[in-house]
């Protein structure tokens, strides 16, 4: 993490390249996160740009009680929420069904249609760009709350405590959203890469 710590130090020293490096590193996740609160890419880009300006303006006061990325994402989420657009969008339908389709289990609850193999395919036969595209598509397809959590936890690698801080949600809620989101991404990979059932 000390890549971030060193960028922070350089940024404070007025190093423009450190800013560029930070932008390259976080911009696309920030857009993805902003999109969960605002209705369009254009608005998301505005929110992200406002966030970068706020980050620059706040950098002198940033006390490093949280990590740089937690601070960055918290500013972003607060700004995206304060646009107030989210409330105007349709309320997400409660998403409470099983994470694996019930038809894949027999009456006793044992697998009837077990998971297909795909790990080797993903590791050895698919190039990173195609895999990224597939997963980005999967993320886009997730309900907003699940996408936010998976993006921060699994794509960006924040800890669960950091995710709870950024999104202002409880640990338990975070785990539920993470579970549903991750399970769907697994299904996307299986549907795309799966071969013969085991």
Partner 1 sequence: MSILSGLRRRPRELPCQQVVEMVTDYLEGALSPADRRRLEAHLAGCPHCTEYLAQMRETIQLAGRITPEDLTPQMRTDLTDIYRRWRTEG
- When asked if residue 128 is in the footprint of partner 1 (CB under 8 A), the reply is yes
Nearest approach, Cβ of 22 to partner 1 (angstroms)? 10
69: number of Cβ within 10 Å: 20
Smallest gap from Cβ 123 to partner 1, in A, equals 8
Q: How far is the CB of 78 from partner 1 (least distance, A)?
A: 18
Contact 150, 142 (CB under 8 A): yes
Where are the alpha helices (H) located in the chain, listed in sequence order? 2-12, 16-34, 41-58, 68-82, 85-88, 119-120, 128-140, 144-150, 160-167, 171-193
131 forms part of the interface with partner 1 (CB under 8 A): yes
Candidate list 7, 68, 77, 189; residue touching partner 1; CB under 8 A:
189
DSSP 37: T
Residue 116 pairs in a beta bridge with 197
Give the span between the Cα atoms of 26 and 23, in whole angstroms: 5
Window 58 to 97, contacts with partner 1 (CB under 8 A): none
Q: Which residues of this protein are in contact with partner 1, per CB under 8 A?
A: 14, 16, 19-20, 23-29, 31, 45, 49, 52-53, 56-57, 98-100, 102, 105, 108-111, 114-115, 117-119, 122-123, 128-129, 131-132, 135-136, 139, 150, 154-155, 157, 160, 171, 175, 178-179, 182-183, 185-186, 189-190, 198
């Amino acid at each position: 993490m000390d890549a971030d710590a060193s960028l922070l130090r350089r940024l404070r020293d007025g190093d423009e390249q450190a800013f560029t490096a930070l932008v390259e590193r976080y911009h696309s996740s920030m857009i993805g996160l902003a999109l969960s609160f605002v209705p369009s890419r254009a608005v998301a880009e505005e929110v992200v740009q406002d966030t970068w300006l706020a980050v620059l303006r706040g950098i002198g006061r940033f006390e490093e009680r949280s990590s740089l990325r937690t601070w960055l994402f918290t500013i972003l989420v607060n700004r995206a929420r304060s646009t107030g657009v989210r409330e105007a969008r349709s309320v997400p339908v409660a998403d409470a069904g099983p994470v694996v389709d019930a038809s894949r289990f027999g009456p006793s609850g044992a697998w009837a249609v077990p998971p297909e193999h795909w790990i080797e395919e993903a590791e050895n036969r698919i190039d990173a760009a195609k895999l990224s595209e597939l997963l980005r598509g999967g993320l886009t397809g997730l309900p907003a709350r699940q996408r936010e959590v998976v993006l921060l936890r699994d794509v960006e690698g924040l800890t669960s405590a950091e995710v709870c801080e950024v999104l202002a949600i409880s640990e338990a809620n975070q785990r539920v959203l993470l579970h549903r989101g991750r399970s769907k991404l697994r299904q996307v990979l299986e549907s795309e890469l799966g071969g013969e059932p085991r």
